[in-house]
Amino acid sequence: MSTGVRAGRGLASRLALLLLGLLVLLPPLAVMLYAFSERWDRSLWPEGATLQWLAEVAALPRVRAAVGQTLWLSGVCALLALLLGGTASLLARLAAPRLLALLDALALLPYAIPPVVVAIGALELFVGQWGGWLDLRLVYVAVATPLLFPLMHKTLGAALEQLDVQPLLEAGRTLGASDLHLLRRVLLPLLAPALAAGLLLCWVTAAMEFAIANLLLGGSVEMLQPLLNGLRGVNGHQSAALVVMSLAVVTALGIGVEGWMAWNARRNSW
């Protein structure tokens, strides 16, 4: 291949990457600009920089209530996914490898069934039958938690593969340790960063979930995503400010977990 052709291909790939980057970054950048501008309806460019919308949205009782509900409910979903999904995934890999294929298949299910279908099914099954006395938040947790399982299963699976736990387990057993002791003393500390990453991923995914929160809880419990959608029709700047705040919190948490994982990996790797 000639030098000219190679250089041409290199340029084309860089351009494609740049275009892809723009496509991905443009919407959040636009939302950010909208959140920090006084108005953006008279010309192509936003006008006046302000923190007014951020301050307003932070003070709105409706927003505070929705953020509180969302953090609480998504936190419960994420914790359950960590406890149930994490335990199932860990046990299958360490003690019952035959179950792994089943769990892998289960982890694909949430992608095969759209959340809207899940929400409508839950409405028909629970709200239609026992809506009078069943707490809808419980139904939400029961429906949303399984959707988070793939995130925990895959995150944990990758961490376990990287750790190569079998020799550690065998070494521990020959030293007289029970599997439970090994789990507590060796495996869980080594897996802690991966568990934290999985928990964060589940929490963010649950907090950003729209279809089930809107269809199942709409009208009774207001969650962040339906509120964002609703707020858009009232004051787009406030809605954008809320998105920016959410993004800032998630980014800060993500950087924190990533930093911890990198530090831990450096400390423990050969």
Partner 1 sequence: MDGMERAPELVVTQAALQLGGRPVLRGVDLALQRGELVALLGASGCGKTTLLRSVAGLQGLDGGRIEIGGQDRTQAPPQQRGVGVVFQQYALFPNLSVLENIKFGVLCDGRGQAEATRRATALLDLVGLQAHRDQRPARLSGGQRQRVALARALAREPSLLLMDEPFSALDENFRVPLRRSFRQLQRQIDQTCLIVTHDREEAFELADRVAVMFDGRIAQCAAPAELWRRPASRQVAEFLGAFNLLAADVAPGALLRGGGCWAAPIEALQVVEEGAEALADPATGWTLRARVLASHFGQQRVSVELRSEAGDPLQLWRRHDQAPLAAGQLLTLQVAGPALQHLPQ
Residues that bind partner 1 (CB under 8 A): 167-168, 170-178, 181, 185-186, 189-190, 267-270
**Contacts for 128-136: CB closer than 8 Å, 24+ residues apart:** 136/216, 136/217, 136/220, 136/221
Would you say 165 or 216 has its CB closer to partner 1? 165
Closer to partner 1 at the Cβ: 96 or 138? 96
Minimum CB distance to partner 1, residue 105 (Å) = 24
Q: At closest approach, how far in Å is the CB of 178 from partner 1? A: 7
Concatenating the DSSP letter of every residue in 133-156 gives: TS-HHHHHHHHHHHHHHHHHHHHH
Cα–Cα dist 229/239, whole Å: 8
Task: Give the side-chain half-sphere CA count within 13 A for 53.
Answer: 26
Task: Tell me which residue of 133, 264, 148 sits closest to 202, measured CA to CA.
Answer: 148
Per-residue DSSP letters for 125-136? Answer: IIIHHHTTTS-H
Residue 180 Cβ vs partner 1, minimum distance, rounded to whole Å:
12
Nearer to partner 1, 60 or 177 (CB): 177
The nearest distance, CB 93 to partner 1, in angstroms, is 17
Distances in whole angstroms, Cα of residue 122 to Cα of each of 125, 192, 217: 5, 34, 11
Which residue, 66 or 156, is less far from partner 1 as judged by CB? 156
Shortest distance (Å) from residue 107 CB to partner 1: 28
Which is closer to partner 1, CB of 177 or CB of 253? 177
